Amino acid sequence: MNAAQSATRTQPGSTPTLSRRLAAYARTFQLEDAPADVIAAAKLCILDALGIGFASTTFEFAKRSAAGIVDVAGEGGHAVIGMDLRLPLRDAALLNGILIHGLDFDDTHLASVIHASASAVPVMLSEGARQRVTGRRALAAYLLAVEVDARIGQFAGGWWQKAGFHPTGMVGIFGATLAAAYLREASESALTHAQGLALSMAAGSMEFLEDGTWNKRFHPGWAASSAITAAALAAHGFASPDRAYEGRFGLFRSFLGAHAPDFAHDMLATWGDTWEMRNVAVKPYPVCHFNHACGDAALALRAEHGFELDEIESIIVRVHQNQMPVVCEPLAAKRRPQNEYDAKFSLPYFVAACLVRERFTLTELETASRTDTRILSLCDRTTCEQDAESAFPDYFSGAVEIVLRDGRRLTRREQVNRGTAARPLTSAEIERKFFANAQLVASYEQAAAVRDAVMVLDRAPDLSPLLQALAAS
């Protein structure tokens, strides 16, 4: 028995740790376990993620990210979404994660506020290609990562962001690690120890909110790259803690302190009965998911009442108190976003831009939009309040009240934001979003080839058609 196996032993009669239970689940996980609608949803989320990856290549952050990674890594054999570039295994996963999450347009599991696809898809592509797995096993690995991330993320009860940690980075590494080890067909012991290693690499600070810098984009790529490392070390017998989650210095107690969850409740109680993939929301707007309901409400009020912008006296937007520090505070800074990332996390700017442009696309994040005096004038008339009727965290509710100069008060509430299981985007809407994003850089023929490869993943002998279609044309 090697050191890793010895360190993982459980005393007779003792309860298996969460790491061991997740390892056991992962070891026997199969795509056949999942219902047809869950598999269909997984494929659509993968397609959505890849389309965003293509669109990101048109932005400066993508070019600078690629230059920095090539500088230290050199070239390799693994595909990068939409780029004429091939990188070593982990570096391709890093860059692909940056591209998928870089526009903040990727899907979100609402209860955990985690963008699981941004770390799961890069692992699926890189490690799946190296292991030459079938499309079916690659799809199962992706789904495994989403199910794991959702449960770990929501177990914190909304405290990740309040404690200053970006949950996509902090939690995404664990689902990605199990996915990477699963693609390797790792033993249960290796699956357990990979999670213990992931604990030492989990990272993600919310400090980017202070100045609109790029750290958040890096988090899921780092999670994916680190996950591949953790899985490889564990596969070769590297010993690590068995209590990655519930330990005295485990994930929750180390990062959440007094707000760590009560382990009397079982984080994995719904495994096998509830599919969290059904609760992943695809974004209709390229901004923080907290903003979406208010944008829909503002657009609906403009369409219904047809008022002119100069008729607006003031605007009140309402979201849950837990959402306000992210998208409402400090108000002065949110009214004047200094860059496109600031704009993504500004509820006043988002609502004002929706009212002025009667839409919100990637164009509304550009400098010309952020300096539009009509939008900024409305920002100055916009305030934020707590929404006592919000359904957060189940849904990211939002309400908008527009006070007109003639005294009318126009109000609208969106209790359930679009893209959720209760108000899902249709497969046709998700496909249109994919083509709109991918065709910023790719031909229709290339985008269609990616779409076709994703839609038959569960029947594909390997990932070759998808990887070939992803390369720059």
Q: How many whole angstroms separate alpha carbon 234 and alpha carbon 194? A: 5
- Among 391, 383, 404, 386, which residue's Cα sits nearest to residue 301? 404
Q: What is the rounded distance in angstroms from the CA atom of residue 147 to the CA atom of residue 127?
A: 19
Residues 6+ apart with CB under 8 A from 171: 112, 114, 149, 152, 153, 160, 202
pLDDT of residue 158: 87
- pLDDT by residue (tens digit) across 84-104? 999 999 999 999 999 999 999
Asked whether the predicted pLDDT for residue 169 surpasses 60, the reply is yes
Extract the tokens encoding 48.
Answer: 């959505």
The CA–CA distances, whole Å, from 444 to 25, 447, 450, 451 equal 40, 5, 10, 10
Q: How confident is the model at residue 211 (pLDDT cuts 50, 70, 90)?
A: confident
Comparing CA positions, the residue from 168, 90, 149 lying closest to residue 122 is: 90
Token pair for residue 106? 């990727």
**If you ran DSSP here, which 8-state letter would residue 307 be given?**
-
330 prior amide bond cis, ω within 30: yes
Distances in Å between the alpha carbon of 269 and those of 29, 159, 182, 300? 16, 20, 21, 40
Give the mean model confidence (pLDDT) for residues 453-457: 98
Q: Averaged over 300-311, what is the pLDDT?
A: 97
pTM of the model: 0.90
Q: Which amino acid is at 234?
A: A
User: What is the arithmetic mean of pLDDT over 307-322?
Assistant: 97
Q: Check if the beta carbon of residue 203 is closer than 8 Å to that of residue 257.
A: no
- DSSP type of residue 32: G
Q: What is the mean pLDDT of residues 279-299?
A: 96
C-alpha 63/C-alpha 57 separation (Å) is: 7
Q: What's the Rg (C-alpha) of the chain?
A: 22
Say how far apart CA 80 and CA 125 lie, in whole Å.
9
Residues 380-409: pLDDT tens digits?
999 999 999 999 988 999 999 999 999 999
List, for residues 8-65, the tens digit of each pLDDT value: 444 444 789 999 999 999 999 999 999 999 999 999 999 999 999 999 999 999 999 9
Percent of the chain with pLDDT over 70: 97
The length of the chain is 473
- How crowded is residue 314: how many other Cβ atoms within 10 Å of its Cβ? 15
Rounded average pLDDT over 254-259? 95
Residue 66: closest CA among 208, 221, 206: 221
At 71-84, the pLDDT tens digits run 999 999 999 999 99
Alpha-carbon separation of residue 202 from 14, 20, 82, 252, 255 (angstroms): 28, 19, 28, 11, 10
Could you report the per-residue pLDDT of 233-255, keeping only the tens digit for each? 999 999 999 999 999 999 999 99
pLDDT at 418: 94
Q: What's the rounded Cα separation, in Å, for the pair 413 and 411?
A: 7
